[in-house]
Amino acid sequence: MASGNAIRGSRVGAGPMGEAERGESAPRLRISFWCSNGHETQPSFASDAQIPDTWDCPRCGFPAGKDRDNPPDPPRTEPYKTHLAYVRERRSDADGEAILAEALAKLRGEI
């Protein structure tokens, strides 16, 4: 049921604001960036700002560059490795057999 409150959902001082109240906005440049998936994004920058070489694509998250024909390569993601995979990178099978034999000898009380 609606009450008689006419300003429901608005705040005090709300209303149309123009440049007269906010001041003039800085001059802007819209620069196009393209990612490797062909997405184009056009962020706006202040005319005196330093323009970055790459920009993150808001659609896919890949890096985007200013050259449409030669966009930056997508980042290479490494697959998840288990602890055992890291151990196998550091140790050979012979090292693993020696460590296992030593641990078993300790458990058996031979050492």
Binding residue positions for Zn(2+) = 35, 39, 57, 60
Q: Residue ranges for the binding site?
A: 35, 39, 57, 60
- What does the DSSP assignment read for 54-110? EEE-TTT--EEES-SSSPPPPPPPPPP--HHHHHHHHS-HHHHHHHHHHHHHHHHT-
How many CB atoms lie under 10 A from the CB of residue 27? 8
